[in-house]
Amino acid sequence: MMSYPDNKRIKLAAIQMVSGPYLSENLRAAAYWIAQAALSKAEIIALPEYFCFLGNTETQKQALIEEFGHGPIQQFLSEQAALHGVCLIGGTLGLQAPDTTRYYNSTLVFDPAGQCIARYDKIHLFSFQSETEHYDEAQTIQAGNLIPTVVDIQGFKVGLGICYDLRFPELFRAMGPIDLLVLPAAFTYTTGQAHWDLLLRARAIENQCYVLAPAQGGVHPNGRQTWGHTQLIDPWGVVIDNLTTGEGVVNGIIEKKRLSEVRSGLPALTHRRFV
């Protein structure tokens, strides 16, 4: 039986954006929504995948790639975390890979002092083709190492994933047990409409953890349409808060008591036979 003697609680916020091709505009929008989330007393705030850029060409994106530890996007995230005294999970940004023709799609976590305390490079690279859409991230993105990333935030074990990782449950099993999964995303409208909500709830239920999924949600200047539906889900699969489309903030409280109730009542994590 997994039990928590205390009932530690913490307020979270996930930001939904409709990012475009101009870094300065995206950072202004992110700063506004971070401030709104901080006003709601959120202690952990998460941005969506590609919060800083969703543009027209790979050439534009390449111009914004940073070396780890240096660059205006990382500086922005550090300053925002320190300004508001929050733990900021910085969506994703491009970090330089050893192969200079590619980059890592990376999530960085900053503590309330503005220090980077965790990094996760996206492992699973999205590929999808239909009559009207074509995506192949492996053309420009370098897959991260096959190492699950878990960071302790105020006593909660927080696992990190990015977008397409959602379809690979073995990644999150390898982390566990975790208390919270944070999954920044920019799901396409097509795949999101079919699978997003189902997959998020499944990951919460099977891992008996909270899931916080900040997403891109709307029609972007480059014509791409993302699914949105940023949400916070509890360990029983109950959606605590959800934003379907457009920019805004989803928030709610996670508590160890709820984790204990679910895991004690249905101790599935102790019944595993395959590892």
Q: Could you list the active site residues?
A: 49, 122, 163
Q: Is the torsion defined by CA of 274, 201, 239, 117 positive or negative?
A: positive
Count of C-beta atoms within a 10 Å radius of residue 11:
15
- Contact between 10 and 154 (Cβ < 8 Å): yes
> Distance (Å, rounded) from C-alpha 248 to C-alpha 52?
16
Q: Which residue has the tokens 């605590």?
A: 240
Q: How far apart are the first and last CA of the chain?
A: 19
Element (H, E) at 59: helix 58-62
- For the chain, count helices (H), then strands (E): 7, 15
